[in-house]
Amino acid sequence: MIKKILVTGGAGFIGSHTCVELLNQGYELVVVDNLQHSSFKSLEVIQSLTSRSICFYQIDIRDQDQLEAIFEHEHIDAVIHFAGLKVVSESIYAPLEYYENNVSGTITLLEVMKKFACKNIIFSSSASVYGDLAAVPILESAPRSTTVPYARTKLIIEDLLIDLARSDAKWNIVILRYFNPIGAHPSGDLGEDPKGLPTNLLPYVTQVASGQLKEVQVFGADYKTKDGTGVRDYIHVVDLARGHVAAIQKLAKGSRLSIYNLGTGKGSSVLDIITEMEAVVGHPIAYQLVERRAGDIAVSYADVSKAKAELHWQANFDLRRMCEDSWRWQCRHPLGFEE
């Protein structure tokens, strides 16, 4: 039975929304986060939204002694491992930092889990492990191929977890490959808080809509897609968070090793996103068509039938709702958590 869950990176975008859903389902949570890319305020919001408390440790997961002290003190049944660096472009310039944080951090976590015989883990992987080889809709069995360091760290960790599951039948491992998470908690008080200039599309679009940025640069209008712009599978972060609750229920039954796509199964272009957001904000959003961004692929969307069949989970929120919730968060917290 899984009662107490350690959430690494629980103060971040996806981790914080997952904490809300887990607390609403009655789980006890221990969060570890070094707050390098997040704020303590997100943890306060989680607690006020759920009227539940979280046990929080501000530590780096690479600090084995501190991690061991937590496992010694808390009785952890399972781990959801979000902690990691995630900016694709940054990883190209700082590969050592990415391998060190993501891969070494995960190895330290797994060593501590093994030492304390806690062998249930959910890992945050990414659709970026598919690279540009996979046909759409992308099945979990599609070939993985990638050239950017960020995605390679995910691929290496996936392989490490697969080897671990083979080495010892007591491990229960769920690997979740997220497509493009957007949206925010419906309260408008929890959302994505990129520090500095956003690199992902949605925060960029909302910051242009609010007047904080001048115009959206649309990277490439010559892809073989319906309007020439890149197509992605955008998923509401609350749907994604609920996918983790489903995965925890799967772990509790004993999953061995399972891999699932978490997406909606639908593709939307960059211009679809801008048009939908214009309808939500009620005014035009300035954009300019520019060159393709290096490393981008044309189209990516998930085959979601495996998660539906085995996790009994599917995404429910549509693009309009994703844009409405992103916009509410932007309006209520234009400067993120640090205002």
Could you list the residues that contact ligand NAD (CB under 6 A)?
Answer: 9, 11-15, 33-38, 60-62, 82-86, 101, 105, 124, 126, 178, 181
Residue 293 sits in the site that holds ligand WQD (CB under 6 A):
yes
Reduced to 3 states (helix: H, G, I; strand: E, B; else coil), residue 288 is strand
What burial class does residue 72 get, using C-beta atoms within 10 Å of its C-beta: 0-12 exposed, 13-18 middle, 19+ buried? exposed
Task: Choose the contact partner of 204 out of ligand WQD, ligand NAD, none; CB within 5 to 8 A by kind.
Answer: ligand WQD
Q: How many residues bind ligand WQD (CB under 6 A)?
A: 18
Phi/psi of residue 300, nearest 5 degrees: -150, 115
Nearer Cβ to ligand NAD (107/289): 107
Q: The tokens of 155 are what?
A: 């691929």
Residue from 54, 174, 201, 281 touching ligand WQD (CB under 6 A): that is 201
Q: Counting every residue, how long is the chain?
A: 339
- So which residues are the catalytic ones? 150
Nearer Cβ to ligand WQD (76/88): 88
Q: Is the peptide bond before 137 cis (omega within 30 degrees of 0)?
A: yes
In the range 8-47, which residues lie near ligand WQD by CB under 6 A? none
Residue 270 sits in the site that holds ligand WQD (CB under 6 A):
yes
Q: Please, what is the minimum distance in Å from the beta carbon of residue 207 to ligand NAD?
A: 16
Beta strand 4-8 pairing with 28-32 = parallel
**Residue 78 Cα to chain centre, angstroms:** 18
Residue 296 sits in the site that holds ligand WQD (CB under 6 A):
yes
Contact, 65 vs 59, CB < 8 A? no
Task: Choose the contact partner of 293 out of ligand NAD, ligand WQD, none; CB within 5 to 8 A by kind.
Answer: ligand WQD
In the range 136-175, which residues lie near ligand WQD by CB under 6 A? none
The contacts of residue 265 (CB under 8 Å, 6+ apart) are: 137, 233, 301, 302, 303, 304, 315
Q: Please, what is the minimum distance in Å from the beta carbon of residue 120 to ligand WQD?
A: 23
Task: Choose the contact partner of 84 out of ligand NAD, ligand WQD, none; CB within 5 to 8 A by kind.
Answer: ligand NAD
Strand partners, 288: 217
Contact, 313 vs 246, CB < 8 A? yes
Q: Which residues in this chain contact ligand WQD in the complex, by CB under 6 A?
A: 86, 88, 126, 128, 180, 199-201, 204, 216-219, 230, 232, 270, 293, 296
